[in-house]
A = this chain, B = another copy of it.
């Protein structure tokens, strides 16, 4: 084959092909059998097309898994992880055979589903179906964006493909439908998907629940669709070559495959989906393949040598590209400097100077509005920042004014239109972030975070610094009613490990929140922003908003400096807390107000700081947040109380709802009086459950 163009040639050695493919299959059986757990069927069925793709087309460098212009390969069918591990091992990545033998064991590089950062060459964590496909679409968007930003005539330094193998299960999940529709819309001709159409899912034949015409569906999405026999190497090769030649439309190659191909008893059977074949069946299958039934983890030298050519080939590929990059540096030195910054994934020095400063003179403005001003102010300083919303840009105020939209007309556009597709937005953001060099954000109403939890969780697991902009963050949304009013969403997000949730109280905290989110490199951040207007707090009288970085801070000290009680609040309810503080101080009660925009950041502070903000001796504490009371006990303690909402909201103007549901300074002040005098008030639950 011609490595430069990726065009397929007829195989000179069909016997070698067969040996190589059966090596993958036998290794897959052994890997799963050794673990006594896993999915042998998918790797056996997809081995042939995996082989063709990885040996004839994939432009990668096993010696440098981070080569920026490598093709990306995403195994969306993550349950077939053994296939990926085997291909990585065989083509020479730093994934020793020992790791295949430790498949699915504690601390191995070969967990049950591929995990980003755990083995070289694993481009994303997959397993939850549909997510990997969405990541691949996001990577294809990122590639288009990066190419548009850096390529210049005669100097293409970004010109690779995104490949993915997806399964029946991936295509039953709605998230993949959303992503596929957008990929077609965006003309992502750099994306090639091999569909492992084996007609078997866990319950049995896919005919039980899945009889749609997938190819025709993708044609409706405006994809380029081909059908091939998955074990016909030359047909697969021709289809991939044709897909490469199609640059305007993403390509779907529907490959008719056979789960557990070669297994006398389990081929085309659901029994091969999620369990080892059994030692006897493994032996029988090896015999069929002409392998010794008693040898395990056998690597025929000819097969290994053939696969390992990828190392030398990859070195050549990257060297050739380095030459192109060198020519680029000469022709476009300024862009090349940006490229270096881009590949290091760093923010430009001093970008924070672009952050706007807000004062009370700005008048009352919603934190979503402040966020919009921040975004627009910093966008010119941050060329890697791009994003958009799930059809709510005007409401979430996330549009970058004056910058182009991303799309076939201009792939350098930094405004993304995800459509009403929150779930795939999350998966695409992960793909964009995984691609490298970019800082994506995605926006919707906080309530619709429920539509996109699976990819957010994966972002947290993969430690991707994706930014979520969630506006309309409480009953303050008003008339749209309970279907649109978050109650439990804040807590549900706080519960996700490694996701930082920030609910700023005013415009100044909002600017700080954006700074923290952008400086974060090891995980995602969710901003919860108000629909309703909020005054800009007077920082000359109150503590500076830099306290947000520590999660919680003393915003307003009690009169006299010795608090009898503490009100802890977040976001819009900080203003309630300050008003309640004033009422209480008029009544002679000295109250401290703590703004606590982030539980996660506060929990990460040294105990001494935590105790300084919430002195252990001050037991009279009331939290105020227009959300579920659940989880606040750890801050208000046994003697405390929470002003929250443990039921669904209602449709009415926001001010009415705040009154009706007890979010008034008077009610907050009353609860403080209650906890100060538990015998007279409605009192806290002695079991430790604060009353709402």
Residues of A within 8 A of B (CB): 35, 37-38, 78, 104-108, 111-113, 115, 125-129, 168-169, 172-178, 181-182, 184-185, 201-203, 206, 208-217, 219-222, 274, 389, 391-395, 405, 417-424, 447-448, 450-451, 453-454, 457-458, 460-461, 478-484, 487-488, 491-492, 494-498, 603, 607, 610-611, 614, 616, 628, 630-631, 633-638, 640, 646-648, 650-653, 656-657, 660, 685-690
Kindly provide the distance from the CB of A107 to the nearest chain B CB, expressed in whole angstroms. Answer: 8
| Residues from chain B with Cβ under 8 Å of A38 in the complex | 479
CA–CA, A657 and B106, complex, Å: 8
Given A185-B209, A217-B217, CB of A172 within 8 Å of CB of B483: no
Q: Is the CB of A112 within 8 A of B417?
A: no
Q: Is the CB of A173 within 8 A of B182?
A: no
Kindly provide the distance from the CB of A526 to the nearest chain B CB, expressed in whole angstroms. Answer: 14
Kindly provide the distance from the CB of A599 to the nearest chain B CB, expressed in whole angstroms. Answer: 9
Q: Is the CB of B172 within 8 A of A421?
A: yes
Identify which of A458, A495, A610, A636 gathers the most chain B CB atoms within 10 Å of its CB. Answer: A495
For A271, the closest partner residue in chain B by CB is B394
CA–CA, A168 and B181, complex, Å: 13
In the complex, given contacts A38-B479, A213-B220, A461-B648, what are 17 additional A-B residue pairs having Cβ atoms less than 8 angstroms apart? A104-B652, A105-B652, A106-B652, A128-B483, A174-B175, A174-B423, A185-B209, A202-B391, A208-B405, A209-B391, A216-B220, A451-B454, A453-B453, A491-B630, A497-B628, A610-B685, A635-B688
| Residues from chain B with Cβ under 8 Å of A115 in the complex | 481-483, 651
CA–CA, A111 and B496, complex, Å: 32
Kindly provide the distance from the CB of A133 to the nearest chain B CB, expressed in whole angstroms. Answer: 11
For A134, the closest partner residue in chain B by CB is B174
Q: Is the CB of A395 within 8 A of B202?
A: yes
CA–CA, A472 and B180, complex, Å: 30
Given A178-B177, A217-B221, A650-B111, CB of A610 within 8 Å of CB of B687: yes
| Residues from chain B with Cβ under 8 Å of A652 in the complex | 104-107
Q: Is the CB of B212 within 8 A of A636?
A: no
For A659, the closest partner residue in chain B by CB is B106
CA–CA, A169 and B419, complex, Å: 8
Q: Is the CB of B185 within 8 A of A113?
A: no
Kindly provide the distance from the CB of A270 to the nearest chain B CB, expressed in whole angstroms. Answer: 8
| Residues from chain B with Cβ under 8 Å of A168 in the complex | 420
CA–CA, A652 and B478, complex, Å: 47
| Residues from chain B with Cβ under 8 Å of A634 in the complex | 630, 633, 685, 687-690
Chain A at the B interface: mostly helix, strand, loop or mixed? loop
For A689, the closest partner residue in chain B by CB is B634
| Residues from chain B with Cβ under 8 Å of A201 in the complex | 391, 419-420
Kindly provide the distance from the CB of A27 to the nearest chain B CB, expressed in whole angstroms. Answer: 18
CA–CA, A206 and B447, complex, Å: 23
Q: Is the CB of B209 within 8 A of A418?
A: yes
CA–CA, A420 and B491, complex, Å: 28
For A170, the closest partner residue in chain B by CB is B420
| Residues from chain B with Cβ under 8 Å of A128 in the complex | 447-448, 451, 483-484
Given A113-B483, A127-B480, A172-B419, CB of A212 within 8 Å of CB of B181: yes
Q: List 29 A–B pairs whose Cβ atoms lie within 8 Å, in order of A's numbering.
A: A37-B480, A105-B651, A105-B652, A106-B650, A107-B652, A113-B480, A115-B481, A127-B483, A172-B421, A173-B174, A173-B451, A177-B177, A185-B210, A185-B212, A202-B392, A209-B421, A450-B454, A451-B454, A457-B488, A461-B482, A487-B497, A488-B497, A492-B495, A603-B689, A614-B687, A634-B687, A634-B690, A635-B687, A637-B638
CA–CA, A651 and B110, complex, Å: 9
| Residues from chain B with Cβ under 8 Å of A653 in the complex | 37, 104-106
Q: Is the CB of A169 within 8 A of B391?
A: yes
| Residues from chain B with Cβ under 8 Å of A488 in the complex | 457, 492, 495-497
| Residues from chain B with Cβ under 8 Å of A647 in the complex | 497-498
Given A395-B274, A488-B497, A633-B634, CB of A172 within 8 Å of CB of B481: no
CA–CA, A208 and B458, complex, Å: 28
Q: Which of B108, B181, B630 contacts A631 (CB 8 A)?
A: B630
Q: Which of B107, B222, B637 contacts A211 (CB 8 A)?
A: B222
CA–CA, A648 and B463, complex, Å: 11
Q: Is the CB of B630 within 8 A of A113?
A: no
CA–CA, A423 and B454, complex, Å: 11
Q: Which of B210, B222, B457, B479 contacts A37 (CB 8 A)?
A: B479
| Residues from chain B with Cβ under 8 Å of A37 in the complex | 478-480, 653
CA–CA, A393 and B217, complex, Å: 27
| Residues from chain B with Cβ under 8 Å of A209 in the complex | 182, 185, 391, 417-419, 421
Q: Is the CB of B685 within 8 A of A607?
A: yes
Q: Which of B208, B222, B491, B614 contacts A212 (CB 8 A)?
A: B222
Q: Is the CB of A112 within 8 A of B178?
A: no
Given A105-B652, A210-B419, A638-B638, CB of A481 within 8 Å of CB of B113: yes
Kindly provide the distance from the CB of A455 to the nearest chain B CB, expressed in whole angstroms. Answer: 10
For A399, the closest partner residue in chain B by CB is B203
CA–CA, A2 and B348, complex, Å: 72
Kindly provide the distance from the CB of A630 to the nearest chain B CB, expressed in whole angstroms. Answer: 5
Kindly provide the distance from the CB of A272 to the nearest chain B CB, expressed in whole angstroms. Answer: 13
| Residues from chain B with Cβ under 8 Å of A389 in the complex | 203
CA–CA, A313 and B211, complex, Å: 40
Q: Is the CB of B495 within 8 A of A491?
A: yes
For A424, the closest partner residue in chain B by CB is B174
For A177, the closest partner residue in chain B by CB is B177
| Residues from chain B with Cβ under 8 Å of A689 in the complex | 603, 610, 634-635
| Residues from chain B with Cβ under 8 Å of A633 in the complex | 631, 633-634, 688
Kindly provide the distance from the CB of A471 to the nearest chain B CB, expressed in whole angstroms. Answer: 13
